[in-house]
Structure 1
Amino acid sequence: MAVRIRPARAFFHGRSSDGEARPDNRLALMDQGFFAGHRAAGQKEVTQCVWIYEHPVDFDGLRRFHHNLGYGLMGRRIERSPLPFARHRWVVDRWPADIDIAECARPRSELSDWVDERSQLPTDPEWGPSWHLGVLPLTDGATAVTVVASHYVIDGLGFVVAVADAILGNRRDLGYPPPRSRTRLRAVLEDAGQTARDAPEIARALVVASKLVRPTRRRESAASPPVGVDAGGGDEPVVVPGITIYVGLEEWDARANALGGTSNTLVAGLAAKLAERMGRRRSDDGAVTLQLPISDRTEGDTRAVALSLVRVRVDPTRVTTDLRDARAAIKQALTTLRETPDESAQLLWLTPLTPKPAFKRMVDAAFADPDLPVIVSNLGDLGSLVNRADGTPSEYLSGRGMRQGLTRRWLERIGGEMYLLSLRIGGKISITVRAYQPGAENTKTALRELAARTLAEFDLTGKID
């Protein structure tokens, strides 16, 4: 995920009994919209990180890491306001019960299955725990460690920050109160008063909404329906197949340079070519639509979701031989994001007032995008710290986003999905790929074979798990 640095912003709300300013523990408007919208639509998203140790794990170090994760961005959960039109708040929620160590070792061939299983275990951003840590011994002597956290509590770069703090032993006190520390009467009075103070911003948001509604309706009426196939009775639960590609940085960077691109552009090119092979091209011009999360997380930032999204059209037929057009398109999109005011951002003030049915329609429409966008997130170079969950460097590290509780019918209806996340650490770039194509053979074996063929088209070789 590309990183955009801004000055840190501190938020304070009222004063404590000793006269000190209290940090404002209300959710940011984007965080509340993300949580409430997905909740209304029945969606659950998590962020997952996996460490693979080929050498013995230091379990004392891992327990310290587990303990320290309970401070900072992961050590919290959401407490909803008693008023349906008010902002929710963060409260403290330190740890899951303990590290979950698998009783029986499993062969390396079952590692990705275990990672999937961990990604589907419950995380609850409202009642807790919002994250969990698991360990799997492998029969070849290696050990896998994974942390899964609710995406409504933390995003990708926030996850990296929390992991780095835990490894360094930095225990951040965000000043959040314990759960249910306010009486219902106090909560009602405080939240009603705050909503009244927010009234001018809400009024401005209504004015912006009235200006935007007509062009939006015209675009919606002209939009083509999403591509999908009838899944029949496919209500069975599905875990979208996912794989991880590892390529040496020297080889990766040399190929990116030879094609006239950068490391991130080459990830985008790989995504576009994979999307072409899986039928995710626009119906009008044959381009692939990439959706790039751009982080604006700052030092000390407590938002769960601190990012913007840009969309880029890429011609997938050229990316294996020339990345210059893709690089220019991405550069222009980022320039536009920086220089163009986002008038629709004012609409976030309407988030607490938005009814569930409206949220559900918006979220469903976003998933059923007729352009079949591919999400491509680049966390960048992570240095040499975050692969040390137990205090020693793991041989492999990867990260990804996952959805819980999906059904085949839903995936077929929205036209499938594709998601890539890359990070650079330990002399390698790791790229996780999660993809589902309606009507196709959706297995990890098929996805690995496709990834191997696509890497070869770029004259690249790598390890694919």
Structure 2
Amino acid sequence: MTLTAPAQFTAPVAVNRLTADDDLFLKLHSLYGNALVNQLAWRFDKPLDPEILTRFHAHLAHGFLARRVQPVRVPFARPYWLPATESLPLVWESVPVAEDEMLDWYFAQSRVDFDPTTGQVWRLSATTTTTGGTLVSLVTSHVASDGGAVLFAVGDALARLYDSPDVTAGSGQLVGSQPRNALAANVIDAGRQLRAVAHGIRAAIAARGVVEPDRNPRPALPEFPLPTQWSPADLVVQLDLTEWNAAATRHSGTTNGLLIALGAGILGRSGRVGDTAGIRVDIPHSMRTSDDPRANATTGLPISVTYRADERIDLAAVRSAVKRAATAYRDPATTPALQHLQPLQMVLPRFVLRHFARTAKAPECLCTNLGETASGVADFAGHHASAVLMRPVVCTNDTDMFRRVEVGVNLSFSTDGHTVTLAVTGADPDRFPSRAALRELLSAEFEAWGLAPQFW
């Protein structure tokens, strides 16, 4: 077997403070628990040696994901990351999973309690299939990692499978360490934060004329008689990448544009918006750099996409909108005011943030393009996964909560260079009440683009 040589890392500054995004996800976790988690999952057609996963788990437990939040007592100073003191054990389930039960098994892995204060922020689980294969799931808390962080940690762990797990050798050394004089370091950080707040307020005032695309209010009706607890409808499909790109090219678009068009098209077909509505689509954009110690290093680019009934989304218009949004976010003068207020968000009293969190709205259409990420994490010591899936999982929760936050549809795209794996979640209980209803809408949208997906 051949393993890629482990990367060498440059040690970070001693203290790795939480970012505004880390802080926001931590506060949301305190309010809603694990309402949203990330999942990286693998399908193997043949048995996978449990010893490989045991080694993999050990490296993750000493790697980039193994971090805990260290609170601080100095007002306005930010908490920071330290290496985790605990990790959830590897779970091997004994009951084989049938082909038509795979999606349910993967979704069930989202039922886990995370604790950012101890470092219990990820869980690795596996099971066999009735056809002799193996399913593997890595579920992670968004408090401690975005998609880029997960891929970075997993890639490093796989490259080091046959080394001894050591926090000082692998990606774990980037997590951060305790300052020599915690009180002095926190006082200094408090001063920096107050200056950042003042700078952010000035920048927000200067950018007060910058506007973002509006989201559509969620129609109150129809309201289906559903249980008080509801699991969002989820689907996973696979397509040939060449076929995907050909469809995009035929309609003057890009790989990413077709993803956005599918999301907007599904939302329109569901009846969530009317004809000629401008749908707000949020596009996560990675800001991660080499040896980046941040747990979350992603920003969002919002665009408006016009939906027209019985017509395909205009891919050329989508392409132009994405370019404009990317250009705007590179210049503070054209960055929306709310982005400048992130330092203020971190120092606001908790009761104020609770109010904003409880009245905040979820994206109506979220489209995540992870690019060619699957190929880098598909091999476990010579065992090649037949499919790799990466997606956000919207967990089971109160049905009325989904209605209140007005969540819509999420799409996540990844490829190994040959096959596209697309994860779709319909989280509006009255537009996507079941997996079957979501599949009907998705099939119609694929047919409009001349695409023939294979459903899991």
TM-score normalised by the chain length of structure 1:
0.83
**Equivalent residue runs for 1:73-84 within 5 Å:** 73-83=64-74
Q: 1:363 is matched with which residue? A: 357
Q: Percent identity?
A: 24
**Equivalent residue runs for 1:42-441 within 5 Å:** 44-83=35-74, 85-93=76-84, 96-169=87-160, 171-174=170-173, 187=182, 190-208=185-203, 226-228=218-220, 236-281=228-273, 285-317=276-308, 320=312, 322-341=314-333, 342=335, 344=337, 345-367=339-361, 373-382=364-373, 384-389=375-380, 391-404=382-395, 406-425=397-416, 427-440=418-431
> Alignment partner of 1:65: what SS?
helix
Q: 1:7 is matched with which residue? A: none
- Partner AA of 1:174 in structure 2: Q
Distance 1:212 1:327 in 2: 25
1:223–1:445: structure 2 CA closer, same or farther, 3 Å change rule?
closer
> Alignment partner of 2:55: what SS?
helix
> Alignment partner of 1:101: what SS?
strand
State whether residues 49 and 147 of structure 1, in contact with CA within 8 Å, keep that contact through their aligned partners in structure 2.
Answer: yes
**Equivalent residue runs for 1:444-463 within 5 Å:** 444-463=435-454
State whether residues 91 and 125 of structure 2, in contact with CA within 8 Å, keep that contact through their aligned partners in structure 1.
Answer: yes
Distance 1:334 1:199 in 2: 29
Q: CA deviation at 1:446?
A: 2.1
> Alignment partner of 1:23: what SS?
coil
1:248–1:274: structure 2 CA closer, same or farther, 3 Å change rule?
same
State whether residues 238 and 421 of structure 2, in contact with CA within 8 Å, keep that contact through their aligned partners in structure 1.
Answer: yes
Q: CA deviation at 1:223?
A: 9.2
Distance 1:335 1:122 in 2: 39
> Alignment partner of 1:460: what SS?
coil
Distance 1:52 1:62 in 2: 14
User: Greater relative contact order: 1 or 2 (C-alpha under 8 angstroms, separation 6 or more)?
Assistant: 1
- Partner AA of 1:329 in structure 2: A
State whether residues 257 and 315 of structure 2, in contact with CA within 8 Å, keep that contact through their aligned partners in structure 1.
Answer: yes
1:463–1:46: structure 2 CA closer, same or farther, 3 Å change rule?
same
- Partner AA of 2:446 in structure 1: L
Distance 2:271 2:66 in 1: 41
1:84–1:328: structure 2 CA closer, same or farther, 3 Å change rule?
same
State whether residues 228 and 438 of structure 1, in contact with CA within 8 Å, keep that contact through their aligned partners in structure 2.
Answer: no
> Alignment partner of 2:401: what SS?
helix
Q: 1:15 is matched with which residue? A: none
State whether residues 92 and 177 of structure 1, in contact with CA within 8 Å, keep that contact through their aligned partners in structure 2.
Answer: yes
1:343–1:312: structure 2 CA closer, same or farther, 3 Å change rule?
closer
TM-score normalised by the chain length of structure 2:
0.85
> Alignment partner of 1:46: what SS?
strand
1:446–1:212: structure 2 CA closer, same or farther, 3 Å change rule?
same
Q: 2:166 is matched with which residue? A: none
State whether residues 267 and 408 of structure 2, in contact with CA within 8 Å, keep that contact through their aligned partners in structure 1.
Answer: no
1:259–1:40: structure 2 CA closer, same or farther, 3 Å change rule?
same
1:359–1:226: structure 2 CA closer, same or farther, 3 Å change rule?
farther
1:231–1:91: structure 2 CA closer, same or farther, 3 Å change rule?
farther
State whether residues 47 and 128 of structure 2, in contact with CA within 8 Å, keep that contact through their aligned partners in structure 1.
Answer: no
Q: 1:26 is matched with which residue? A: 17
Q: How many residues of Structure 1 are paired with residues of Structure 2 in the alignment? A: 437
Distance 1:223 1:177 in 2: 38
Q: CA deviation at 1:47?
A: 0.8
Q: Provide, for residues 335-354 of structure 1, a one-character-per-residue CA deviation record: whole Å limited to 9, x for no partner.
A: 22224543744422223321
| Cα-Cα RMSD | 3.3
State whether residues 412 and 424 of structure 2, in contact with CA within 8 Å, keep that contact through their aligned partners in structure 1.
Answer: yes
Q: Provide, for residues 242-285 of structure 1, a one-character-per-residue CA deviation record: whole Å limited to 9, x for no partner.
A: 111100112111111111111111111111111111223368x4
Distance 2:351 2:15 in 1: 29
1:384–1:41: structure 2 CA closer, same or farther, 3 Å change rule?
closer
State whether residues 148 and 288 of structure 2, in contact with CA within 8 Å, keep that contact through their aligned partners in structure 1.
Answer: yes
Q: CA deviation at 1:211?
A: 6.3
Distance 2:409 2:380 in 1: 29
> Alignment partner of 1:77: what SS?
strand
1:191–1:462: structure 2 CA closer, same or farther, 3 Å change rule?
same
1:433–1:157: structure 2 CA closer, same or farther, 3 Å change rule?
same
Distance 2:354 2:224 in 1: 23
State whether residues 201 and 341 of structure 2, in contact with CA within 8 Å, keep that contact through their aligned partners in structure 1.
Answer: yes
- Of stretches 423-432 and 316-325 in structure 1, the one that deviates more from structure 2 is 316-325
- Partner AA of 1:81 in structure 2: V
Distance 2:314 2:224 in 1: 42
Unaligned ranges ≥5, structure 1: 1-9, 13-21
State whether residues 51 and 397 of structure 1, in contact with CA within 8 Å, keep that contact through their aligned partners in structure 2.
Answer: yes
> Alignment partner of 2:329: what SS?
helix
1:157–1:28: structure 2 CA closer, same or farther, 3 Å change rule?
same
Q: Provide, for residues 338-387 of structure 1, a one-character-per-residue CA deviation record: whole Å limited to 9, x for no partner.
A: 2454374442222332112322333344426xxx6300000101263211
- Partner AA of 2:26 in structure 1: F
- Of stretches 290-299 and 433-442 in structure 1, the one that deviates more from structure 2 is 433-442
Q: CA deviation at 1:419?
A: 0.6
- Of stretches 342-351 and 102-111 in structure 1, the one that deviates more from structure 2 is 342-351
Unaligned ranges ≥5, structure 2: 1-9, 161-168
State whether residues 37 and 359 of structure 1, in contact with CA within 8 Å, keep that contact through their aligned partners in structure 2.
Answer: no
